[in-house]
Structure 1
């Protein structure tokens, strides 16, 4: 009889253990972050490049030739990814996957660019290979964004712009560079995860030119990397660029 009771007790333990394991498996899901891009509500893809399709807040007609940017410290509650280069022109880097995420309420945050702690010159070989570096004379490290295109100038002629975002550097004394960390965190709030999910992160490209600083491409168009004040303006405008889109699950 005692032997029978022990067997029953052991069976209960094994059954409970298996049930708990199954529950843990059921409670883990896959989550994909999907970056999409638009200009004030109009979808933007690589197919829209090299055409004067867009107008800035200041009234300049623009075409996009290249747009790629870096996000880092991508945090979905307890799960994280180091960094990702998103390249609209090459249709790459749009999705970031998190596997075996426990269901529940998750906070979603990421950093635009690299913070000073992570912006270490030359250490990211994949970024080195695609020329995303910042020249050593500007302190090295990496771009946060390379946004190139054309705009119609005051004479309605095609002119180039290079809206390149980096860590702000004051180069007035070449022997004593002064830096300001212009990476910034985007907090998209809390999201309830109940199943496998795709979370859309929307980038409104037009915001780079309008909020809070109305950008005048006739004044600020090229050679912006060594322009300390321009980099701080970009930092301010970038904080309204990203927003949470659809969550499908």
Structure 2
């Protein structure tokens, strides 16, 4: 009789424990935002505000140059989880490297903590680029970021400007402006009818990033790469009137998508 009573008590305790376990709920961590910090380098040297119009750089064509402006557009920062779930912020940021404007940017999206493949688009792809007039801040920034309709409309991707020493040691200016490539019936600088355009934005894959509750991702631009690979850039020949030149826009796209942007430090 004592054994039966003991078994009944034991069973009641186990049943009570099981009920306690069943009543517990797992609390998922709150979703988080991710900060991005955009920094600029010339090969291994960080480009600071004081370097603009003062520091001389040597490009791959052995041309000495100084930078006076570096403004560029990034869009569609995307996080792809290990299970394939895609989180696309769908927003954009115009970074003025010299003035530090938008050097830190937080995409308007919250995601669970974990490991993600992180990417973004340099410039606007065609879907976003065709929303001409749809970005009031870009229309009014930096002397208007929009591209004239005869050149295909849309928006600039980047404006990099400065001076260089030409082959006879004269100081000349350059305007390295990237936009959607546009083809005309006659080659620039002559005016011609716009025949077609080609999307020259490109996606930058930063690789895998572990996202915690306070993550900052550094995105490094190596400005030297714009002049380097696969097309060695000769500023003596190509220093201006690049926007209406279809072939030059393709060349700049090839250089830009070949390692201009890289993942820097990730801090938690």
Which category of TM-score, normalised to the shorter sequence, fits these structures?
0.7 to 0.9
Q: TM-score, normalised by structure 2?
A: 0.82
Q: Contact 2:150–2:194 at 8 Å: present in 1 too? A: no
Query: Is there any run of 5+ residues in structure 2 with no aligned partner, and where?
Result: 1-15, 81-86, 187-191
Match of 2:64 in 1: 61
Write the distance in 1 (CA, Å) between the matches of 2:230 and 2:148: 29
Q: Output the aligned Cα RMSD.
A: 2.1
For the structure 1 residues 79 and 73, does the alpha-carbon distance in structure 2 shift closer, same or farther, using more than 3 Å as the test? closer
The alpha carbon displacement at 1:146 in A equals: 0.6
Q: Distance in 2 between matches of 1:14 and 1:164?
A: 63
Mapped to 1, the partners of 2:121 and 2:110 lie a distance apart of 23
| Preserved CA contact (<8 Å) 1:109 1:185 | yes
- Contact preservation (8 Å) 2:152, 2:194: no
Structure 2 contact 75–123 (Cα < 8 Å) conserved: yes
The match for 2:40 is 37
Runs (4+) off by over 4 Å:
11-15
1:205-226 residue CA offsets vs partner (Å, 9 max, x unmatched): 0000001111000010000001
Deviation at 1:51, TM superposition (A): 1.6
Question: Which of 213, 216, 228 lines up with 2:231 in the alignment?
Answer: 213
Residue in 2 that maps onto 1:172: 185
Residue in structure 1 matched with residue 104 of structure 2 by the alignment: 95
User: Is residue 232 of structure 1 aligned with residue 250 of structure 2?
Assistant: yes
Structure 1 gap ranges (5+): 1-7
Q: Is the 8 A contact 1:52 1:61 kept in 2?
A: no
User: Relative to 1, partners in 2 of residues 1:179 and 1:15: Cα closer, same or farther, differing over 3 Å?
Assistant: same
Contact kept? 1:49, 1:64, Cα under 8 Å: yes
| Per-residue deviation, 1:97 | 1.6
Deviation string, structure 1 residues 157-180 (Cα, Å, up to 9, x no partner): 110100000000012253342111
- Structure 1 residue 79: Cα displacement: 4.5
Aligned residue runs from structure 1 range 95-244, under 5 A: 95-98=104-107, 100-120=110-130, 121-130=132-141, 131-172=144-185, 174-239=192-257, 240-244=259-263
Which structure shows the bigger proportion of residues in strand conformation?
A: 1
Alpha-carbon displacement from aligned partner over 1:129-176 (angstroms, at most 9, x marks no partner): 011111121121100001111001111111010000000001225334
Alpha-carbon distance between aligned partners in 1 of 2:37 and 2:154, rounded to the nearest angstrom: 26
TM-score by structure 1 length? 0.88
Q: Counterpart of 1:3?
A: none
Q: Secondary structure of 1:198's match? A: strand
Aligned residues: 236
